Amino acid sequence: MTKKQRYQFVIDYFLTHSPQAETELRYDNPYQLLVAVILSAQCTDKRVNLTTPSFFNKYPHPESLSKAELDDVFTLIKSISYPNNKAKHLIGMASILTKKFNGIVPMTVEELIELPGVGRKTANVITSVIDNQPNMAVDTHVFRVSARIGLTTNAKTPFSAEKQLISLIPKALIHKAHHWLILHGRYICTARNPKCFECGIKPACKFYSKQWKLEI
């Protein structure tokens, strides 16, 4: 199987079985998604979704969050990993959003990464989820799943994996492919004990073929 055929198989599979894939984070507007994605670093979406309703109730827009006390934000998010750093980042992010961007979340990766707590991965999530931009956020699931299937080869960094993925996934599908790979990594191709026998990708998966010494 050539790399091109592998990509085609994986894309066809997900288009058929998961056409509606989307983020599991709950949000009503770009500001809420930005807060949720910052909170989700090294934390589960489920845990974030339990926390954000009361957070958005208290801080409904960037301006209110920019004026928040650190201790108050910490208390609201203390069940989330790294609450101290994230509380600082959230207030800093809201402050720049308010002063520099009139409270509107910018929609370019370059502008977004100016905000505290926002790196390339977060910026790619925001621009792809809100604006369907062809940006691929590579988190630990996307990195692992892409390497196992053989969509990426010898990628040493998330950025290298990102470049390989966006070079071979059709532009119009990149924003969706991010969710396909994340959800596949979360529920099927888990870090430990991937569920290969129930996985529909196995006919095209390098990891599976190596394990079972199959020719694909």
Known catalytic residues are: 121, 139
Residue 205 interacting with ligand SF4 (CB under 6 A): yes
- Minimum distance of ligand SF4 from residue 200's CB (angstroms): 8
Question: Number of residues in contact with ligand SF4, rule: CB under 6 A?
Answer: 13
Residues 164-203 that bind ligand SF4 (CB under 6 A): 188-189, 194-196, 199, 201-202
Give the nearer residue to ligand SF4 in terms of CB position, either 1 or 196.
Answer: 196
- By CB under 6 A, the residues from 96 to 155 that bind ligand SF4 are 148-149
Tokens of 63: 């301006």
Comparison of 80 and 189: residue with beta carbon closer to ligand SF4: 189
Cα 194 to the center of its chain, rounded Å = 20
Q: Give Cα separations from 61 to 31, 64, 84, 131 (angstroms).
A: 7, 6, 20, 20
Q: Which is nearer to ligand SF4, 15 or 96 (CB)?
A: 15
CB of 4 to ligand SF4, least distance (A): 18
Calculate the CA 200 to chain-centre distance.
22
Residues near ligand SF4, by CB under 6 A: 148-149, 188-189, 194-196, 199, 201-202, 205, 207-208
